[in-house]
Amino acid sequence: MTRAALSQTWQSGSYDTHARFVSDLAEGVIEWLAPAPGEHVLDLGCGDGVLTAALAARGCDVVGVDTSDELLSAARSRGLTVQWMDGEDLHFAAEFDAVFSNAALHWMTRPRAVTQGVRRALKPSGRFVAEFGGHGNVAAIVTAMLAVANARGGRSDLANPWYFPSSAIHRRLLEEEGFSVERIGLFPRPTPLPTGMEEWLKLFRRPFFDQFGGDADAALADTVELLRPSLCDGGGNWTADYVRLRVEAHR
């Protein structure tokens, strides 16, 4: 997670409470990784280390990198080897059998720099397996925030700071940077939000609402109400309109 998030910050407690589904729903991308005991693996955007620990439990020698001091501290408390490093400026050379990433690459808006760093980090014939937001991810949520920005004179860039590519665009980028793409695809994944849309918005797009100062709560309420008809059912249960891009590529 990088500066591209436009002042996005993280607290491990609130992330665990309101976004634990992010790691809980990672079975598919781990299956694509197929980690083997003894492999040296880089977890790019490791966050609080839940999936880093899962890879270590499978016998991998794992190093995690992230730019959130708060989340890195939580990862270290799990006994993991992690360090602060910008995913857009990786400093590894032919060290890893695999680079793994879950729900992090969409925060990195210089994807070519990320891809180049991943390729440098891999051993010859090493693999890169990742899942992140793809084209159409949280489209309704972004549209609602854009409407609020337009109505209130806010910054529209703060509503959508992410990299959400199509499969074709991301495949082309990987191939241009020397990867052979084994498989890639978009996976629509409507995701229940156990603590509701308001908490999701406060966790993932706090900078957007902070721009409105004393009207931040009103802007948040407006966004929630715009989303209620499409993402909240009659029982008050909220679902985020997630679309994930999953990829396996080889150096």
- How confident is the model at residue 8, as a pLDDT? 56
CA distances, 160 to each of 109, 141, 205, 208 (Å): 11, 9, 9, 9
**In a domain? residue 212:** no
Domain that holds residue 33: 3-138+162-193+241-250
- How confident is the model at residue 21, as a pLDDT? 46
- How confident is the model at residue 214, as a pLDDT? 97
**In a domain? residue 184:** yes
Nearest-angstrom CA–CA distance, 118 and 86: 12
Nearest-angstrom CA–CA distance, 204 and 235: 24
**In a domain? residue 123:** yes
Count the alpha carbons within 13 Å of 65 in the hemisphere toward its beta carbon: 21
**In a domain? residue 217:** no
- How confident is the model at residue 22, as a pLDDT? 52
Q: What is the CATH number of the domain that holds 59?
A: 3.40.50.150
Question: Is 0.75 surpassed by the pTM of this model?
Answer: yes
- How confident is the model at residue 26, as a pLDDT? 73
pLDDT for 53-76, tens place per residue? 999 999 999 999 999 999 999 999
Count of domains observed in the chain: 1
Residues of the chain short of pLDDT 50, as ranges, are 1-6, 10, 12, 14-15, 17-21, 23
Residue listed under structure tokens 């400026």:
89
**In a domain? residue 146:** no
**In a domain? residue 34:** yes
Q: Could you please report the per-residue DSSP string of 207-240?
A: HHHHTTGGGHHHHHHHHHHHHHHHHB-TTS-EEE
Q: What tokens were used for 13?
A: 């407690």
**In a domain? residue 246:** yes
Chain CA centroid to CA 229, Å: 26
- Look at residue 21 and give its three-state secondary structure: helix
Sort 104 into a burial class: Cβ within 10 Å, 0-12 / 13-18 / 19+: buried
Nearest-angstrom CA–CA distance, 47 and 65: 8
- Residue among 132, 130, 144, 107 at smallest CA distance from 243: 132
**In a domain? residue 119:** yes
- How confident is the model at residue 6, as a pLDDT? 46
